[in-house]
Amino acid sequence: MIDLKRLVREIPDYPKPGILFYDITTLLKDPVGLHWAVDILANTFLAQKIDLVIGIEARGFIFAPMVAYRLNAGFVPVRKPNKLPAARASMSYSLEYGKDAIEIHRDAICAGNDVLIIDDLLATGGTAAATAKLVESLGGRVAGMGFIIELEELKGREKLNAYPVHSILKY
Amino acid sequence: MIDLKRLVREIPDYPKPGILFYDITTLLKDPVGLHWAVDILANTFLAQKIDLVIGIEARGFIFAPMVAYRLNAGFVPVRKPNKLPAARASMSYSLEYGKDAIEIHRDAICAGNDVLIIDDLLATGGTAAATAKLVESLGGRVAGMGFIIELEELKGREKLNAYPVHSILKY
């Protein structure tokens, strides 16, 4: 077992003073660390039927496809507004200040599909909750959620308590 | 051998009239198609030493990490300006109208590293050429470039003739 936390770079006062940023690029560039992180996440869901893995633009595009590849599932991107080229479903969610929205292709998920949501970071859980609503609006089932890093003090897990939530590194 | 082109959705007049857009989200959501596309790209480079695979924000984040995982290499993101949290190197390049820039972490590549550049689309080749210059400015060697789709009439390959270039689907 390698110490994955040792591969995460901690950057104080980024993006603003008082915030400690956990930079996973140092984990990503390490071949062994990358493989471990993907396999730990994927193995959690190995015994379940997973049809599709969803990743959220932009950093969520990194781990979700690798988990999809490992699980022999398909990959579905959830993107910022007006980026997807075909018919879209949209969901807005609250930020610390203001609102944002995410979109998915309407034909990306079929009714009854078992879907996994993978992202690098679980903070307040707002994006993941909105993504789950998008999946359900298209008739999909959220079989679980997986995160590389969980910031426990932000209590995102409480917002996602309707779903099995797994994270690798808790801070 | 499956017909991967059958899994690519063609969208006329997107993003503007007269443009035929090749949408790979229909390929991505197909588990067999996704696996084939990744393995074909990765197998091309299986006999070479590849230390790192680079993906370019945002759609390039999808295939490059899977190829890195398959090749037991690390993954390095190249991002739009001011997105990476640590010390960065920057490279500007020309667009049809105007300029854009991409950035990489200065410590992402070590001198002598063999680096693969993977993106979903080879169009004019401007982004890939700028990425190669970034890699070389940090002392890395560009061992090759791989693309899912190549738009041959845009002649991007000519701009990249210093490197081995592979693409899966030519249009």
Give the tens place of pLDDT for each residue, A17-67.
999 999 999 999 999 999 999 999 999 999 999 999 999 998 999 999 999
Residues of A in contact with B59 (CB under 8 A): 61
Dihedral angle over CA of B145, A26, B110, A33, nearest 10: -80
**What is the model's pLDDT at position A94?**
85
**What is the model's pLDDT at position B78?**
97
pTM of the model: 0.96
Among A36, A62, A78, A110, the residue to mutate for chain B (most B Cβ within 10 A): A62
**What is the rounded distance in angstroms from the CA atom of residue B91 to the CA atom of residue A91?**
35
Query: Residue B149 pLDDT > 90, yes or no?
Result: yes
**What is the rounded distance in angstroms from the CA atom of residue A127 to the CA atom of residue A19?**
20
For residues B17-22, average pLDDT: 95
Question: B87 — contact with chain A (CB < 8 Å)?
Answer: no
For residues A162-167, average pLDDT: 97
| Interval A133-146: pLDDT, tens | 999 999 999 999 99
**What is the model's pLDDT at position B2?**
81
Query: Residue B12 pLDDT > 80, yes or no?
Result: yes
CA closest to B36 among chain A residues: A69
Name the percent of chain B lying above pLDDT 70.
99
**What is the model's pLDDT at position A76?**
98
For each of the domains in chain B, give its residue range(s) and CATH number, in order of start: 48-170 (3.40.50.2020)
Query: Residue B63 pLDDT > 80, yes or no?
Result: yes
**What is the model's pLDDT at position A107?**
97
| Interval B20-36: pLDDT, tens | 999 999 999 999 999 99
| Interval A4-19: pLDDT, tens | 999 999 999 999 999 9
Residues of A in contact with B52 (CB under 8 A): 29
CA closest to A58 among chain B residues: B58
Query: Residue B154 pLDDT > 80, yes or no?
Result: yes
Q: Per the residue annotation, which of A59, A70, A141, A157 is the catalytic one?
A: A59
| A96 catalytic per annotation | yes
Name the percent of chain A lying above pLDDT 70.
99
Chains A and B: how many Cβ contacts under 8 Å? Answer: 111
**What is the model's pLDDT at position B98?**
84
Angle at CA B97, nearest 5°, toward B91 and B100? 20
**What is the model's pLDDT at position A113?**
98
**Nearest Cα to Cα of residue B22 among B5, B34, B36:** B5
CB-nearest to A34 from B29, B62, B75 is: B75
What pLDDT band is residue B119 in, cutting at 50, 70 and 90? very high
Q: Which amino acid makes up residue A92?
A: S
Contacts with A, B 19-38, CB within 8 Å: 21, 23, 25, 28-31, 34-35, 38
| Interval B72-110: pLDDT, tens | 999 999 999 999 999 999 999 987 778 999 999 999 999
Q: How far is CA B16 from CA A84, B13, B23, in A?
A: 14, 5, 14
- CB pair distance less than 8 Å for A86 and B23: yes
Cis peptide before B58 (omega within 30 of 0): yes
